[in-house]
Chains A and B, each alone.
Chain A
Amino acid sequence: MRIYVCVKQVPDTSGKVAVNANGTLDRASMATITNPDDLAAVEAALKLKDETGAQVTVVSMGPPPAEGMLRECIAMGADDAVLISGREFGGSDTFATSQIIAGGLSNLGVGPEDIIFCGRQAIDGDTAQVGPQIAEKLNIPQVTYAAEIHKNGNTLTVKRLLEDGYMTVEVSTPCLITCVKELNQPRYMTVKGILECYKKPFTVLDYEALKDEPLIDPTTIGLKGSPTNIFRSFTPPQKGAGKMLQGSNEEMVKELAESLAKKHVI
């Protein structure tokens, strides 16, 4: 049994944000972290590895520096890593991204007992679409918002975290599960893991390696293969100085409610 975990390197939102001329994020110039929901996915995979001895492969699509993040996942306990990287893949929206990752996964081989873990959503794009789209493109079932996962044979019982409660779903492998931060507490790396993480298998899949995959086609990947394009990126205007309300309590409450409603806060 092999478990794939899709992880994304995202800008550290506590740092500065930089944007390219075409409206996409200038990732190279920003401090990066591993997307928090993806870390929950890594932990979920490692926990299953502890229980079943599965092989855990972490997969990412991104520029070469994403190697560092993948090595960290290995230092946590993953067995190997795959980086899907090439200029042809740059500027992809969720459709193209999921197309490429699904192509990469099918190139690696998704067997009948295998599981793919993703995070619910990335804190940079905030779409929560790539996981489900990968599942669709690989024609496997998906369970999103996993807050608890149990495995019995080839069946997984997954508790989904919904807005107003939980839903428990049974799903058989192969399947794709997207994880929420609340699922677990990701483990730390170990010193031994760190010392070994640069010696473990690391594969780079570029366009050449994937071009024969049915899912990979110049018209379905990269900026050109993206049905959506970012038209404009801008920084929301800064809030002005605070405003003190005046009048009777009733008048102030009314004015406050009206101005909040106008700004769609309430």
Chain B
Amino acid sequence: MILSKEHELMRKNFRNFAETEFTTEIQEQLDREGGFNWDIWKKIAKYGFAGTKIPVEYGGQGGDYLAYALMNEEFARVCPVLAIYANTPNSLGGGPLLQCGNKEQLEKYLTPAAKGEKHIVFALTEPGAGSDPGSMITRATADGDYYVLNGRKCFISGAPIADYAIVYARTNPELKGAKGISMFIVDMHLDGVSCGKPEPKMGINGYPTSDIVFENVRVHKSDLLGPLDKGYAVAMKTLDGGRLGVAAQSLGIAQGALEEAIAYAKERKQFGKPISYNQGVSFMLADMATEIEAARNLIYSAAQAKDMDAKDASTQCSMAKYYASEMANRVCAKAIQIHGGYGFIKDYKVERLYRDARVMTLYEGTSQVQQIVISRSLLK
């Protein structure tokens, strides 16, 4: 796809920011120690990257889905963790608010999130409810002006640093599946809210993930987000934007791995010549580059479909997420293979990209869930 002058400039800017600010030292420290880098967060906030896709009237930058995809791609090319930093407020944090929030809620919660002043995270998954969120058991019971929440969410990205969480809870146990579920904005500092310890993960270390536990948490009814009992179904419409973000992260990871592989293949000599002189290696690079370019066009096209609110945008986002995440895993594996034994050592960036890529086929809907979405749209 040929980008507009503005989008080309955005790419240049995202790349410059990522390459300059997300130093190798920071990346390696986050991978080693986990936690969260507040200095980088402040810079993301300063330049408005937390609100790239959020309208200007709510403190955002007014960018479109294509801008959002470019940001995820370019940040992830340098380090996927830092793409996740900027992605969360734009997608899973801000998305349900934009879709369902009233003016008061948008001003109170979305604006500070877009400006990077507050963290909003997305709490849907439960230990017994992953790909099948309809089986969730977190309950919200009406009590006067309040709802009382009880339950446990797991694998919640950003929970330990969050100020607010978008929480899904069953408000009507009579209804089954997606019906009878409502959305709430829960202040993480309310009595009865607690986090589990950060999960030790295979990759994307540096953006903490934990359980959130709700024990008789009293949430005011003004923090009910969207219609009662139908909040889940309404919000799901926005979440393919998040899938687009994960697709773009996958694309960035693959691009980063390809560049590492090319540089190494040109430099590393065996049998008296650079290993790139061998077709076994150079054809691998050709395959990687071709798959990356196919994913890139799929993603940009899905982003434009979202921007135009096209009917099949949702399916396109699922296709983009499915293909790009699987592709990134194939590309990273090949990048390691090209590096040989050195690729297995942590001193080489491809080792970290390989681990980081793995979650891309899992979170925000597994590849199998994407296949369900895609096939249902074909067979309806």
Contact = CB atoms under 8 A, between A and B. Distances in A.
A12 to B, nearest CB: 12
B5 A191 contact: no
Interface stretch (A20-28, A78-86, A131-139, A193-201): A193-201
A192 B52 CA distance: 8
A194 B13 contact: yes
B48 A197 contact: no
Contacts, number: 43
Contacts of A189: 9, 13
B16 A188 contact: yes
A188 B17 contact: yes
A198 B9 CA distance: 11
A190 interface: yes
Interface stretch (B60-68, B168-176, B269-277, B342-350): B60-68
A88 interface: no
B17 A71 contact: no
B270 to A, nearest CB: 24
Interface string B23-66: 00000000000000000000000011100100010000111000
A187 B13 CA distance: 11
A190 B63 CA distance: 10
A148 interface: no
A195 B16 contact: no
A71 B8 CA distance: 12
Interface string A52-76: 0000000000000000100110010
Nearest to B21: A188
A195 B61 CA distance: 9
A178 to B, nearest CB: 24
Contacts of A68: 5
B67 to A, nearest CB: 6
Interface in B235-286: none
Interface residues of B, number: 17
B6 interface: yes
B56 A198 contact: no
B9 A71 contact: yes
Interface in A166-194: 187-192, 194
Contacts of A195: 6, 61-63
Instruction: State the majority secondary structure of interface residues on A.
Output: helix
B123 to A, nearest CB: 28
B10 interface: yes
Contacts of A192: 48, 56, 61-63
Nearest to B51: A191
Given A190-B47, A190-B48, A195-B62, A72 B9 contact: yes
A191 to B, nearest CB: 4
Contacts of A198: 5-6
A6 to B, nearest CB: 22
A8 to B, nearest CB: 18
Contact of A190 (B5, B6, B61): B61
B61 A197 contact: no
A38 to B, nearest CB: 16
Contacts of B56: 192
Contacts of A75: 9, 13
A117 B63 CA distance: 32
A18 to B, nearest CB: 22
Contacts of A72: 9
A194 B6 contact: yes
23 contacts: A71-B5, A72-B9, A75-B9, A75-B13, A188-B13, A188-B16, A188-B47, A190-B47, A190-B48, A190-B61, A191-B13, A191-B49, A191-B52, A191-B62, A191-B63, A192-B48, A192-B56, A192-B62, A194-B6, A194-B9, A194-B13, A195-B61, A197-B9
* Closest 5 A/B residue pairs (Cβ): A191-B61, A192-B61, A191-B63, A189-B13, A194-B9
